[in-house]
């Protein structure tokens, strides 16, 4: 049995066979990673938790993901000079905007921001100091 290795671009193809003429390899198959940590099924709703102002009753509202405009990251510096970062799901109705992450500093905010956008399949925005959303590309 003769065996040979052929390299086609960045794909390695192993050829096994007998006979005088080499066989052409089958088309290369491209495989994804075993665990890509990506969403298997699209998320359909986000549960927004709120407390009613007058009664103090805690409520949950299920909001369809496709009603959100995107995922925004923002940073603020307090009067004491402490940096804090936050991620917010942005909705057309500002009352339904929902903060999903916040931290002191900015060690994890970028990864969290990108993960929320990927998981919910929403565009990423940077929230400017004046509240305007700047698209991230």
Residues 62 and 56: their CA atoms lie apart, in Å, by 19
Query: 78: domain CATH number?
Result: 3.10.20
Total number of domains in the chain: 1
38 occurs within a structural domain: no
Residue 12: inside a domain, yes or no? no
Question: Is there a contact between 46 and 98 (Cβ–Cβ < 8 Å)?
Answer: yes
Closest CA to 103 of 131, 75, 134: 75
Is-above-0.85 flag for pTM? no
Query: Cβ contacts of residue 12 below 8 Å, gap of 6+?
Result: 5
List, for residues 58-99, the tens digit of each pLDDT value.
999 899 999 999 999 999 999 999 999 999 999 999 888 999
- Beta partners for residue 83, in sequence order: 77
Q: Which residue has the higher pLDDT, 24 or 58?
A: 58
The helix (H) or strand (E) run that includes residue 126 is strand 124-127
φ and ψ at residue 65, rounded to 5 degrees:
-55, -40
């Amino acid at each position: 049995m003769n065996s040979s290795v052929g390299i086609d671009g960045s794909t390695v193809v192993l050829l096994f066979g007998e006979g005088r003429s080499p066989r052409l390899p089958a088309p290369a198959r491209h495989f994804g990673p075993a665990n890509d940590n990506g969403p298997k099924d699209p998320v359909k709703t986000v549960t927004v938790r709120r407390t009613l102002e007058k009664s103090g009753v805690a409520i949950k509202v299920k909001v369809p993901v496709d009603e959100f405009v995107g995922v925004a990251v923002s940073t603020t510096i307090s009067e004491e000079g402490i940096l804090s970062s936050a991620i917010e799901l942005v909705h057309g109705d500002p009352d339904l905007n929902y903060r999903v992450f916040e931290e002191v500093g900015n060690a994890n905010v970028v990864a969290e921001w990108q993960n929320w956008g990927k998981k919910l399949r929403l565009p990423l925005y940077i929230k400017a100091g004046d509240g305007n959303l700047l698209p991230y590309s």
